[in-house]
Structure formats: C-alpha cells, structure tokens
Amino acid sequence: MNLYTLVLLIHTLSLTAAFSPSGGYGPGNVTCPKKSTAGDSGLVRHSRGLCEDESNWLKKRHEHTDEALKEFLETADLEDFDVEEFFDKNNQSINIGLAFSGGGYRAMLCGAGQISALDDRTDGANETGLGGLLQSATYLTGLSGGNWMTGTLALNNWTSVQEIIEGDSIWNLEHSIFTSGGINIFKTVGQWDDISDSIQEKKDAGFNTSITDIWGRALSYQFFGKHDNGGDGLTFSTLRDVEVFQNGEMPLPISVATGRTPTSKIINLNSTVFEFTPFELGSWDPSLYAFTDLKYVGSNVDNGDPESDTCIAGFDNAGFVMGTSSSLFNQFLLKLNTTGITGVVHDLIEDFLHNLSEDFDDIAIYGPNPFYNTPYATVKTIVDDENLYLCDGGEDNQNVPLAPLLQPERDVDVIFAFDNSADTDDSFPDGASLVATYERQFASQGNGTAFPYVPGQSTFLAHNLTTKPTFFGCDASNLTDLAYIPPLVVYIANEPFTFWSNTSTFKMEYEDDEKLGMIKNGYEVSSRYNMTIDEDWKKCVSCAIIRRSQERRNETQSDECEKCFEDYCWDGKLVTEDVDLRSQNYTSSNGAEDASSEGEVSTSSNARDGTSESSGSSSSDDSKKSSASQMISYKSVSNLLYSALFVSAIALFA
C-alpha cells in the first residue's frame, strides 16, 4: 500500500466514523475512545471549565474573529477610537455570542433574515447591514425553531442564507412535512417509507424510540436535503470532521434543550438546561453539572465508564438533535387522523401513540442515560434514571437560548439576543424570555450565573423596548450586586417592516414569496431598516461590542458612544404598573437545595408580574395577552391546554 492510499484510507475511515457507523439512522458499534484525563471518568466530565476540545478550537476561532472584528470596527469608523491600539492593549479576544429564539418556522425564517444582515456573504450586508458581525462571533446558539436555522447553516458546510435562498434543495416549505411531495403522493409516501425504515433500524439496533425520532427524521428532509437520504446518517458531532469547523471558520453552534421526566413540569427556576455542542452534551446546572462526549451518546455507561470496549456512535443524529430542541412540535403527530397521512406511516405513528403514555408526547429518549450514576448532581433525579429525557428548549419559558452564553467559563462580552417569540396577542415578543432568564440567576439552578437587570413585560411594551433594539447591562458599575459582571445584552425583537412577520408558531407551510418576505423583514429588523432609521447603527453596535473591554481597562467612552448608549440603553425607568425587579429580595440559595423545591425564590415567584407562574396568569399584562398566546409562547406544558390550540393549528395546514 503506498502512502497515498494509506492517507486516503485514513481519511475515509475518519469520515465514516463521523457519520453513524451503520451509515444510516441506526446507531452502531465502535471501539470506545481512550480514557480522558484528570479525575474524570471515561466519557463524562465535571462541568468545571470548558472541555479541552472547545478550548483548543477557540484558539483557531479567535484567529478568525480577531481579524473579522478588526475589519468590522475599522469600517464602523468610530470617533476617538484607534482599532490597532485597542487590539494591542486587549490581551484577550472579544467573545460575541448570537442567540436565536424558538417559535417554529416563524423563528427560523425571521432568524435567517436577522443573521443574514450580520453575514458578510449576504449581498448588501457590508453596505446596509452589519456584515462581518457573524464572522466576528464566537458562539451561535439556537433553540427550537431558532436551532432549525443555526443547525441548517452549520451542518450544510456552513452555508449562508444567501446560498439557501438562491439554491433549491433546502428550506422548501410550500408543503408541510406531511405532504412533502405536494401533489406527488408517491414522493410523500416514499419519504415516509424511508422514515419508517429509519426508525425500525434504530429499534433493531436495540434502542428506545420516541415521537421525536419521527419528527426529527421528517424535519431532516427540509434541512439536510443535500445529504443522502435526508441526512439519515448525519450526526451533530460530524462537524468535528468538517474542515470549515476544524479551521474555526464558523462560530461554535450550540443547540439548547431542557430536561424533563415524563410526568413532571418545569419552569425557568427549576429546569435543567442542556446544551449540544459538536463536542459535548450536558448541563452547567447543579441538577446535573456534567458533560459527556456527544459522539458516544447511546453507549452503556456507569458514571461515564463504558461497560465494555464497545461503544455506540451515531445516536446523535443531526435531525434528532434538532428535533429534540423543538420537540413541542411532536404534538402535530398526535393529530394523526387529521393530517392526511395514510398507510404504513399512519400505522407506524399510530403504533407509537398507542404504546406511549401521553406523558411522553414531547419527549426525546436518550437511552441508555449517558449520565447514569454520575456523582456531580445535587439532586439525583436525572442521574438515577436509566434514560435521559430531553424536550423542547423553550418549555421553561427561556425562549431565547442564553444560558450557554452566560457561563463565566465562556467569558462572553456581548450577546445579541434575537427574540422571535409569540408572547402578545398578535404574536410578537414582549421580553418574557429575558425576564425568565433574569429571574433564574437567583435560583439555585442559576448556579451563580449573572444576567443584567431587565424590566417586566409591561415596560418592554410601553417603552417600545421591542420595537427598536435595546441594550441591557450597559454600565458594569451598576451590576456589581450580581454574581459577576454579565455580558452586555443587545436585545433585538421581531417587528414588521415590509412583511407581517408575526405568523403563527404552528404555520407549517410557506409559499416562496412568504418565505422570502419573512427573511427580508428579518434583515430589516437587525439592520434598522437597512440603516435608514439610524445611519449610526453600526457604530452603536460597535460601542456595545467594545464596552466590557473598555470597562475592564477603566477607559471612558467616547462622546459618540455615550450618545449611542443614551439612544439604545434601557434607561432603568418603568411604567407604573410594572414591579421593579431590581428591588426584589431573593433568598440566596446555597446550591445544595433540592432543585425541585418550589419555595427557593420565595418572594419573587409570585411578585413578578406573573411570568414565573406556570399558569401564566398575569396581574399587569392581562389586557395584552390571551391564554392562547401564552400557550404559544410555551407558558405551560399542560397537555390539556395544548389540545384546543393544536386542533386549530392543525386546521391551518390540513
């Protein structure tokens, strides 16, 4: 064998190892990796610090972000600011995090438009948008519909929204996933046959399956149409072997889900937030406080130690991961008889529904539990179970996936939080997600994270904090009472410019012109209507990016940036009916309490204007919300409540 063939062989092996070893949807056997380092056992580690893979990868990413940010700041042309000098003095790279909320296809399409204005590959973004900001970003988080967007970009060789709308093989949304072939019934049936085979493969390999498997496979045809069989063998950890990722040419994609046992309910104060990176799956929260190597999820382990030399790979199917983060949409399949699905597929789903209690409707089963018997959790609910149950990232009401970006280990300077939730009666955001994340820092599950002060939803609406971008946590000196100085948060909410972008969360079909209208409107949202509302928008964004760095060095802001902050920072004022969150007294928690205890944030959970109640009843916002819109914004996970809504939602696409 000559050297060339050897290299080729190794290359092929490493590629196939990245996909499911079976080549299809069913996970397969591989040799376990060598034990990792220092104290941690086998495949699992304590959530102290970042994993070595992420730290190493960051070095490569920072080479790219440093360059891109230099260019971004140069072209922003700030007064009294020398870019070279700034970078010389800065002994660490600036970490920018971008977060995209859930909300079905609405969130995916709005998010696509919003991100396209930050992407220097988009026509016009260098001139009328914030082109280069995406290239300067270190982290990219997505949840539910937002993770459909981030996952599509990441797992298609870091494609761009521009490429997607010019191409024709992905994001074809004219037909719902139940009738993907349109009038071509054979195409639809063929696809569902494949899905059915996939699920059978996973079962045959000895794994429990859930509705999320079906849902994830169906979604994959829309997101991974370029890959064989709708990406049935594509895994999330595949990214490790993709050159653009290895070289740090894209931000770290993170998908967020929450943990929930089939019979329980969760709210922002007691949920366990999970994150999937290409390297790991796990949580920073005390109820788990562990991460596992994503590639080997599905292996039989005890405290992270594989039971034999044989491990499992291929469980982390990309569609399954993206379906997990959006499992709330499993509910569509429950209305089976109204979907028009017939034959084999109908029977397959019917079979599932009969064999599962309804408690499992929105749950993805990760079994065997990769965290079985791990010792780091303060509450043992998750680690004592033989399965790990994950569900939609928005179920705890934190619909913008901020948790991964608030971990002090990641040292994020600024977060751009894109909120495409449907909180109000007319399906626009009202800041509820930020409030939920704000509150969580004071609960034991917040585990010493910090988040800037925000007002309640009444103020968000009355002071127009959702109709123009708003900065939170502008002044580090005002945040010293928090656990540490959190990132500055640039909050950008969905609003209509040229398209009514407040479509229903459950609208599953978009005509091409609707799709493009949503995307274009998203571009206009994050570019301030192509810079026509504020020609200094790029400058102001730059001021936000450099702020924490300046504060660390005790440098004063230029007059120009001060002016920007006057325009965009929340001024701390409230409308009269809003409770001042800042004056709330939270009982400090020692982190050792049972996370399920209801009393841990004694005064706040009822004093807040209702958002932390799972019922969603609100004292001040009653007039602005109906119970239906609260359900759409994932206020409650009650199946009972959903039923009524879904019946009407189904009518939309049936």
Ligand X SMILES: *[C@@H]1O[C@H](CO)[C@@H](O)[C@H](O)[C@H]1NC(C)=O
Interface with ligand X in residues 419-478 (CB under 6 A)? 447-448, 463-464, 474-475, 478
CA distance 72 to 89: 18
Which position among 55, 246, 247, 310 is part of the footprint of ligand X (CB under 6 A)? 310
3-state secondary structure of 310: strand
Least distance (Å) between residue 1 CB and ligand X: 26
Element spanning 140, H or E: strand 139-143
Binding residues for ligand X restricted to 395-424, rule: CB under 6 A:
none
Radius of gyration (Cα) for the chain, nearest Å?
23
Shortest separation between residue 285's beta carbon and ligand X, angstroms: 7
DSSP state of 70: H
Structure tokens at 126: 């260098």
For position 337 contacting ligand X by CB under 6 A, the verdict is yes
DSSP codes of every residue in 175-243:
S-GGGTTTT-HHHHHHHHHHHHHHHHHHHHTT----HHHHHHHHHHHHH-TTSGGGTTT-BGGGGGG-H
Among 25, 221, 236, 289, binds ligand X (CB under 6 A): 289
Applying CB under 6 A, among 371, 523, 568, 646 the residue interacting with ligand X is 523
340 binds ligand X (CB under 6 A): no
DSSP symbols for 282-308: EE-STTT-EEEEGGGTTS-EETTEESS
Q: Does 353 bind ligand X (CB under 6 A)?
A: yes
182 vs 533 by CB, closer to ligand X: 533
Name the one range near ligand X by CB under 6 A: 192-200, 262-270, 275-283, 631-639: 262-270
58 contact partners, CB below 8 Å, separation of at least 6: 50, 138, 248, 252
Give the one residue of 160, 235, 268, 270 binding ligand X; rule: CB under 6 A: 270
Residue by residue, DSSP assigns 432-492 as: HHHHHHHHHTTSGGGTT--------HHHHHHTTTTTS-EEE---GGG-TTSSS-PPEEEEE
Q: Restricting to residues 219-258, which ones interact with ligand X according to CB under 6 A?
A: 244
User: Per-residue x/- marks for ligand X, 525-554, CB under 6 A?
Assistant: -----x-----------------------x
157 contacts ligand X (rule: CB under 6 A)? yes
200 binds ligand X (CB under 6 A): no
639 binds ligand X (CB under 6 A): no
Q: Which of residues 74-93 bind ligand X (CB under 6 A)?
A: 91-92
Please identify, using beta-carbon distances, which residue of 283 and 399 lies nearer to ligand X.
283
**Shortest distance in whole angstroms from residue 90 CB to ligand X:** 8
Identify which of residues 536 and 594 has a Cβ nearer to ligand X in the complex: 594
Question: For 103, how many CA atoms within 13 A lie in the half-sphere containing its CB?
Answer: 33
Helix (H) / strand (E) element for 143: namely strand 139-143
Out of 62, 70, 187, 265, the only residue in the binding site for ligand X (CB under 6 A) is: 265
| Window 548-587: residues binding ligand X (CB under 6 A) | 554, 569, 572, 583, 585
Give min distance, CB of 572 to ligand X, in A. 4
Q: 76: which DSSP letter?
A: H
Residues 6+ apart with CB under 8 A from 546: 73, 81, 86, 94
Q: Is 524 in the site for ligand X (CB under 6 A)?
A: yes
**By CB under 6 A, which span of 32-40, 386-394, 591-599, 622-630 interacts with ligand X?**
591-599
Residue of the chain from 43, 130, 205, 488 that contacts ligand X (CB under 6 A): 205
In the bound state with ligand X, the residue whose beta carbon lies nearer, of 103 and 616, is 616
Indicate the residue among 184 and 498 with the shorter CB distance to ligand X: 498
Nearer to ligand X, 14 or 337 (CB): 337
35/553 with CB nearer ligand X: 553
Under the binding rule (CB under 6 A), the answer on residue 164 touching ligand X is no
Residue 596: CB minimum distance to ligand X, A: 3
Contacting residue, 295, 520, 538, 625, with ligand X by CB under 6 A:
520
Report in angstroms the alpha-carbon separations of 391 from 358, 366, 423.
Answer: 14, 11, 20
DSSP labels, 228-284: GGGTTT-BGGGGGG-HHHHTT-S-EEEEEEEE--TT----TTT-EEEEE-SSEEEE-
**356 is a site residue for ligand X (CB under 6 A):** no
Provide the minimum distance between the beta carbon of 308 and ligand X in the complex, in angstroms, as a whole number: 6
When CB distances to ligand X are compared, the closest residue is 124
Instruction: Quote helix, strand, coil % in the chain, to nearest 5.
Output: 45, 10, 45
Which residues lie closer than 8 Å to 452 by C-beta, 6 or more apart?
Answer: 438, 472, 473, 479, 482, 486, 488, 489
DSSP assignment of 92-133, as one string?
A: SPPPEEEEE---HHHHHHHHHHHHHTT-TTSTTHHHHS-TTH
Options 234, 267, 383, 492; binder of ligand X; rule CB under 6 A: 267
Residues 474 and 597: their CA atoms lie apart, in Å, by 34
List strand residue ranges (DSSP E) for 367-440, in order: 388-392, 414-419
Residues forming contacts to ligand X in the complex (CB under 6 A) are 28-29, 71, 91-92, 120-121, 123-124, 126, 128, 131, 157, 205, 244, 264-267, 270, 286, 289, 310, 336-337, 350, 353, 376, 378, 447-448, 463-464, 474-475, 478, 498, 520, 523-524, 530, 554, 569, 572, 583, 585, 591, 596, 598, 614
